[in-house]
Chains A and B, each alone.
Chain A
Amino acid sequence: MDQIQAGHRSAHPLPIRIMHWIGAAAVICMFLSGWAIYNASPSLPFTFPWGLTLGGWLAGGIAWHISVMWVLFADGLAYLAYGTISGHFWRDLRPTGPRILLRDLGDTLRFRLPHRLGHYNAVQRLLYTAVILCICMAVLTGLSIWKPVQLAWLARLFGGYPIARNIHLAMMFCIIAFLAVHLLLVAIYPRTLVSMIASTKAEEER
């Protein structure tokens, strides 16, 4: 059975759990305050409902955005360092190759994925790697439009301020798309939520 516990490795070590929830709260705050900033000067033909924004008005939204930005920045750097040094990235997020990816993708679309705590299938590896890259890209484009003069080299790297701003916006939509899938799967497999809160042992891989 899947439920046999494998040794004493934790499904999610404590540092990962702490950084996950700090990052999750920070990303939500960045969404809500970012929408308040976007609404002041929309570059696409829509605005976000004011009831969903954080900060009340443009300056309040900016205050939240550039405050929480440092929380996300520090949390992200700590996670990247931990993920590299602890082997989390290599063990859990390393790409599997196209054959296994296609097999797991087929299983996912037929909802035939056994979620084994502490193990990452090819689709999970791809999605988690993608969202980590999207958040990194959102932070970098965000820095470039925060200080477009002092960090002009960074803005230039993204093709200039207006394009950097649109990439920043596109990353937001990508992260929301990830979040929709992520929350749907957590709703289907609630024990994954428990394993991200309480210390839970990793299950055996079949």
Chain B
Amino acid sequence: MIRRRHVLPSVSLAEISPEVAKLSRRRLLRNGLSLGSLALLTGCDLSTHSGIDAALWAMLRFDDRVQSALYNPQRLAETYPASAITRPFRFNAYYPIWEVRPVPENWRLAVTGLVADKTPWTVDRSPGRGSPMVA
């Protein structure tokens, strides 16, 4: 694992390994079921170009307009204490949890644009801004 100093929302492989093992066993069953539901409800995954998808996209554009009308940059999100963090944190990326790859030692995030400090980010330089598990 990558050594870090005080990264707050983090997860260790030990924390999630029981969950990964459980999900891996269910993988075949789950994939079978979700394929079945997709076959029943074609056009629901937003990756095809059916009429249902067109209707959904139209509604989502309307939704975007409502969201921008509601948006006020003065309102700030509620903050929570570190003790409120769920450990291991809940996983809901687009890829399954058993495909999570640990961040390599040489991971860099280039920073460009109108920012004062353009030094690339590393895992050690981003305290509290992510986990070493982000692939």
A147 CA / B77 CA spacing, docked (Å): 10
Q: A41-B90, A56-B45, A60-B44 are in contact. Are A67 and B38 (CB under 8 A)?
A: no
In the complex, what residue of chain A is closest to B40 when comparing beta carbons? A51
Q: A41-B90, A50-B30, A70-B59 are in contact. Are A63 and B46 (CB under 8 A)?
A: yes
In the complex, what residue of chain B is closest to A61 when comparing beta carbons? B44
Shortest A59–chain B CB gap in Å is: 7
Q: Are A60 and B36 in contact (CB under 8 A)?
A: no
Within 8 A of B (CB), among A47-70: 49-60, 63-64, 66-68, 70
Q: Are B37 and A51 in contact (CB under 8 A)?
A: yes
- A133 beta carbon closer than 8 Å to chain B: no
B55: chain A residues at CB < 8 Å are: 67
B101: chain A residues at CB < 8 Å are: none
In the complex, what residue of chain B is closest to A143 when comparing beta carbons? B70
A40 CA / B78 CA spacing, docked (Å): 22
Main secondary structure of the interface of A (DSSP, over half): helix
Q: Are A55 and B70 in contact (CB under 8 A)?
A: no
Q: Are B63 and A149 in contact (CB under 8 A)?
A: no
Shortest A87–chain B CB gap in Å is: 32
> Which one of A55, A70, A161 has the greatest number of beta carbons of chain B within 10 Å?
A55
Q: Are A151 and B70 in contact (CB under 8 A)?
A: yes
Of A49, A67, A147, the residue contacting B33 (CB under 8 A) is A49
Q: Are A67 and B44 in contact (CB under 8 A)?
A: no
Q: Are A59 and B33 in contact (CB under 8 A)?
A: no
Of B37, B76, B92, the residue contacting A53 (CB under 8 A) is B37
A64 CA / B77 CA spacing, docked (Å): 25
Q: Are B63 and A56 in contact (CB under 8 A)?
A: no
Q: Are A51 and B36 in contact (CB under 8 A)?
A: yes
Q: Are B90 and A60 in contact (CB under 8 A)?
A: no
A160 CA / B60 CA spacing, docked (Å): 26
| 0/1 interface trace, chain B 53-80, chain A, CB 8 Å (1 if under) | 0011001101100010011100111100
- A148 beta carbon closer than 8 Å to chain B: yes
In the complex, what residue of chain B is closest to A42 when comparing beta carbons? B90
A149 CA / B67 CA spacing, docked (Å): 11
In the complex, what residue of chain B is closest to A43 when comparing beta carbons? B90
- A179 beta carbon closer than 8 Å to chain B: no
* Closest 6 pairs between A and B when the two form their complex, measured CB to CB: A67-B59, A56-B45, A40-B92, A50-B33, A150-B70, A41-B90
**Given A51-B33, A66-B63, A67-B63, 6 other A-B contacts at CB below 8 A?**
A54-B44, A56-B44, A64-B44, A66-B60, A149-B77, A150-B70
Q: What are 26 sample pairs from A and B whose C-beta atoms fall under 8 A apart?
A: A41-B90, A50-B30, A50-B33, A50-B34, A51-B36, A54-B41, A55-B44, A55-B45, A56-B38, A56-B41, A60-B44, A63-B46, A63-B56, A63-B60, A66-B59, A66-B60, A67-B59, A67-B63, A70-B63, A149-B75, A149-B77, A150-B67, A150-B71, A150-B75, A151-B70, A160-B78
Residue numbers of A with Cβ under 8 A of B are 40-41, 49-60, 63-64, 66-68, 70, 147-152, 155, 160-161
